[in-house]
Structure 1
Amino acid sequence: MFRVPLIVATALTIAFGGGILSALSMLNASVGFGAIEVAGWRAFPAAQTASADPYAKAHRAKGGRLLYGSAEGLQFTAYRDKDGLTLTGTCSYRMSGRTPTARLWTLYVADSAGNPLDAGAELPTAKNSQTVLRRSDGTFDITISRTAKSGNWLAIPDAGSFQLVLTLLDTPAAASTGLSGLAMPVIEQIGCGQ
């Protein structure tokens, strides 16, 4: 007597559960389509515009993040160094070069979800264009490691992988015409277990 309703209830549970899980996995997998990648840095220039695809809009709504408009800025993330190795807290890195033209830029260390990491009380986990020390030609070096270094230094916790988030504010790179020929800083591993 309860056999048919039980089969129907099981089928509906599997169908709805599978649909919800597949939608959530797609939202967690990508910010959307149309990513650009420059020297290991990845950005989604259309993710915050009115012409964004439905996945990008849903990802933005799910994360509760306020993203920049196409004329306001562009956010780049880097998960790997120049050799393609995942950035991890047990290694030290040097980020060198220059950023694309921008009125202001910020750089911080984040977890895989994009949340800023805390390396400890009063340790620098972020830099910006106003506080970074530069050479006379405008280039800079930032050391990213667990232990303190002289010059520009970002502290990272020693547990697990991380990403670097570089946000360019009021930049021509945010316009579709500014995306070609960008010069991005290079991230290289300078040692592990230090």
Structure 2
Amino acid sequence: MKRKNVFRLPLLVLVSLAIAFGAGTWSTRVALRATSGFGALRLGPWQAFPDLQSAAADPYAKAHRANDGRLLLGRAEGLVFTAATDSDGRELRGDCRYEISGTTPAARFWTLRITDADDRPLLARAGLPSSLDAWQAVRRDDGSFAVQVGARAKAGNWLAMHEPGPVRFVLTLIDTPTAGATGLSLTDMPAITLEGCADA
């Protein structure tokens, strides 16, 4: 009986530490996934964090930056907008078809790409376009553009996407005054319109 009592206390301590460590790690990861930081710039379905790479970044943003280990654009270099929903608030899905249309804020250059829910790039099959930039985009007479996103090829601007599950559209503006602008409106960003899904 004495030998059992000797091991009981250390065992309880080890179990308590394991639970505390596991719960702490889990809650931290949940908190980091829930937000990329405060000070978000939201324009329709698009959002960006101008202070993410600056000294003014909040603790959540700094934790994201350290956890991701990615090279981010400085505030004077550009701004990355991410959309996880369409313009009507529906989650973006890889097995659906979308049109991204309109204009972008003033920028020397921009790129548009698709990622999964964990921000990993979705690469299309060999020979199919998985990204678009300002030099490649076919524009209308008024300077606006329309990009078709889906599994079937379309004339004009088209990005191949066929993987099921949640996705994100990432619009990166290079050398843009947008990062310091406060008077932007929804019309400065392209709209994201759902055109159909594979199961519809």
TM range (shorter): over 0.9
Rounded Cα–Cα distance in structure 2 between residues aligned with 1:11 and 1:158: 42
- Of residues 149, 159, 170, the one that matches 2:154 is 149
Runs of 4+ in 1 over 3 A off after TM superposition: none
- Say whether the 8 Å CA contact 1:109–1:116 is kept in structure 2: yes
Rounded Cα–Cα distance in structure 2 between residues aligned with 1:162 and 1:20: 26
Rounded Cα–Cα distance in structure 2 between residues aligned with 1:172 and 1:15: 46
**Aligned with 1:2: secondary structure?**
helix
- Of residues 39, 54, 58, the one that matches 2:59 is 54
Residue 182 (structure 2) aligns with: 179
Q: Is it true that 1:130 corresponds to 2:132 in the alignment?
A: no
Query: What residue ranges of structure 1 are gaps of 5+ in the alignment?
Result: none
Rounded Cα–Cα distance in structure 2 between residues aligned with 1:39 and 1:28: 21
Residue 42 (structure 1) aligns with: 47
Rounded Cα–Cα distance in structure 1 between residues aligned with 2:75 and 2:123: 30
Rounded Cα–Cα distance in structure 1 between residues aligned with 2:151 and 2:72: 30
Q: Is it true that 1:162 corresponds to 2:152 in the alignment?
A: no
> Per-residue CA shift, 1:89-127, capped at 9, x if unaligned?
222111111000000000001111111101201110100
**Aligned with 2:97: secondary structure?**
strand
- Of residues 26, 39, 42, the one that matches 2:31 is 26
Query: How much identity, in percent, do the aligned residues show?
Result: 49
- Of residues 136, 139, 143, the one that matches 2:144 is 139
Rounded Cα–Cα distance in structure 2 between residues aligned with 1:152 and 1:63: 31
Query: What residue ranges of structure 2 are gaps of 5+ in the alignment?
Result: 1-5
Moved more, 102-111 or 55-64: 55-64
- Say whether the 8 Å CA contact 1:93–1:145 is kept in structure 2: yes
Opposite residue 157 of structure 2, the aligned amino acid is N
Rounded Cα–Cα distance in structure 2 between residues aligned with 1:92 and 1:179: 32
TM-score by length of 1: 0.93
- Of residues 86, 95, 106, the one that matches 2:100 is 95
Moved more, 38-47 or 18-27: 18-27
Q: Is it true that 1:2 corresponds to 2:34 in the alignment?
A: no
Moved more, 14-23 or 114-123: 14-23
Rounded Cα–Cα distance in structure 2 between residues aligned with 1:84 and 1:53: 27
Deviation at 1:24, TM superposition (A): 2.2
**Aligned with 1:144: secondary structure?**
strand
Residue 3 (structure 2) aligns with: none
Rounded Cα–Cα distance in structure 2 between residues aligned with 1:103 and 1:185: 17
TM-score by length of 2: 0.91
**Aligned with 2:13: secondary structure?**
helix
Provide the aligned length of Structure 1 versus Structure 2. Answer: 192
Deviation at 1:132, TM superposition (A): 0.1
